[in-house]
Structure 1
Amino acid sequence: MPMVPSNVAPPSAPTTGTQPEGAPQPGLGTSDAAEAGAAPSPRSAWAALRAAPWRYPLTRWPWLCLLYLLTGTVIAPFWLFSALVLGLTGILLTPVGGGLVLLAILALLGLPVAAAERHRLLWIDREPLRPNHLPAPRRGMLAWWSLRLREPATWRELVATLPITTLFWVFELVTLIAVLVGVACLVGVPLLALFGPADAVAFDVPVTESPLRWLGPLLLPVFLVFSAYLVTPVAAIRGRLTRLLYGGAGPDLGAELVELRRSRARLVDGFEVERRRIERDLHDGAQQRLLSVHLSLGMATIALEEENADGEAVRLVRGAQDAAREALAELRAVVRGIHPRVLTDRGLPAAVAELGDRLPIAVTVRIDLPVRPPAFAEVAAYFVVAEALTNVVRHSGASSATVTGGLRGALLVITVTDEGDGGADPTAGTGLQGLVDRAAAVGGRLLLASPIGGPTVLHLEIPCPSSLESSV
């Protein structure tokens, strides 16, 4: 989604005064004008360092970087200790049955570690690192636990815990030790010289003779500035590695795909509802009115014949009746093409059987469905079969076709076979690409085998797990 920079203001109308450029405009407060003309605030410590390197030590970013590294050195050993305790105890208790629970808890240890890392990362980088997990169900702890153990993001976060609690921890610790030792030397030696014993020694040199007793206070500001420039790149590298471990700066691809599937399913459902509404309106409205016109013209023809009316008038009325009959037949075909009523009333096997009866070739239908699939699967399968049989009639030269299908686990499987000439090509404009798109719209797939000389086999698979739930 394109973002509009926060510092871009809408163009203002030209003014006729001699007001100097940059002065507050009428109706705009001084602070607002300054904010509107100011550069955007850096969103990370590294960006702040690059934007204003000379002013950087006077900002709060160095302190946030120091806090980021300090908290990492404190909590990493805790996570490592917890992982070792859970792992070893779980392995020891597995023979008696209690260890599996501890090992399951260990598998989920990456979740709190990742949550803490994302929260800490916001201190040095305001760009959120969003979690990669699917939305938690609301059916209890067991369902949540099962979901978390099955999704790949949980195991990625568990694997990421290892470098965070070992290599990264050492990386942070070494940097902090360098900073703390430098500050301790520059501050401690002068304090020891002023308030310590006369024979105090620092670095094998008597404190009273060490040059740090006077240089320490002078070098301390310089060292603090150097420390600000030191902890920032270290924290930035640490944060970048965290982003790489937890899926990068963007949202998780798996979550995007799940949301894409859900939005696509909502669109398919919305289209199907609209198709049914149009079919119902045509069936109950225009079709009934056209049928009434056809009947009225038939009655008018009979009345004219009984009254021995002029033959030309009878011929015209009879022609209008025939035209109304043809229009009614065409409208019924359109209604069936939008959404066949038999599919809603009796299901997919009956709808396909009726479809086969209307074709000029023999169609054998063997579809065994112990329970009805979801409506979206039925509709998609019906129209794929309808287009496939139309292609058989138009292009294959076959005199018969077979439609078989049923539920195979969580899949609705339909196969259309003909003994025609074969050689079907999706790029030849026979509508096969449209079948592929229709199957993909509901998360299904279409397989085609059509060697030259036949036979042609079109295999459709549509996932519909809700059909299994309804059969339980």
Structure 2
Amino acid sequence: MTDNSRPSAAHGALDGTSPPAPRAPLNAWTWREIAYLLSNFPLGVAAFALVVVWLALGLGLSVTVIGLPLLAAGLMACRQYGRLERARARVLLGVRVPEPSGLRPGERGFFPWLWTCLKDPVAWRHALFAFIRLPWALLTFTLTFVSLFVAWPVLPWLARWLTNVDRAMVRGLLSPSDELERRIAELESDRMTVTDTAAADLRRIERDLHDGAQARLVALAMGLGLAKEKLLEGQADESVAAMVDEAHGEVKLALQELRDLARGIHPAILTDRGLGPALTSLAGRCTVPVTTSVDLEERPAPAIEGIAYFTVSELLQNVSKHSAARRAEVEVWRSADRLLIQVQDDGRGGARLDGGSGMAGLADRLGAVDGLFMLDSPAGGPTRVTAELPWRPRAEGAAGAAGAAGD
């Protein structure tokens, strides 16, 4: 059956003189809503019965050793019931409710786990949802079933009104507890991004070591071995000198590759002297003239400092490769509890988060540490990227170590 819910020019004038085409009485979404309403009753009866029996047994046996563990196990089951209902609402009603974060006992052991389960607000709200859902499920099932055979012309509008109440109940009782709970759920998702990025970096380092410095050192060892054999055999001629000279060149190349690799992991100048000198050194290696301005009265935490450095590094690489710019600027400053970074160039613009230049990955990595990434790049330029990171003070031990290394 065709869904005509969107009007088109063929059904009326675009100036509003003709009304839009009416929505098909029984389109695909209406049938999904009807299926949701009809399935409410059997699921509601089962959930209500289980919750009532579980509460009666758990509270009745709470004076014994099995009562509280039974309550905790039931609350964990309520969490799974909530997950089922969120999935059903997502498929049949188009309601997307984020998953609450998992349980986090403060300490290991049975009793910390038990206490965490018993005071879990998410599970108790899921239990409340199952308890109050039965009367509503009975009403909606009856109205929908009767309308399906007797009053079907009004069924689409009735189904929409009834499922709107269900949508509100799902959002109100099956969503994360509060803004902090939602933020925890987001950070759990972002943690996967950080894990994937770290794994990719480790693979890159392994590949660089295997294909670069390691291969050169193997060739160096073979060359020196051949030179040693010739010396022992008394064949100290010009070929031996050439082999030693070649080995010397391989040593210098291997050392340079190891320095570049170490700089890619964490540059020594950043550890020793901070963002200002490190970004100045980074700008000097860019193919486009770059001016830097770092206005920080103190150094942030090493982790934030490292993220800021590699953010600027990747942005300057994009400037070199894609912008066709004549100059670029880098500014870093602190505003309240945020570290702000702005990189701007006078290139051709048109950069996008989905443009294949690594911008999307950079935005994901900043978001994973509660940062922000903003891109302003109109066609014709200029391109301005602003990044924000949470300001975290540098620990005294880290500052002292950095100062000692700098001395």
Q: TM-score, normalization: structure 1?
A: 0.41
Which of the two has higher C-alpha Rg? Answer: 1
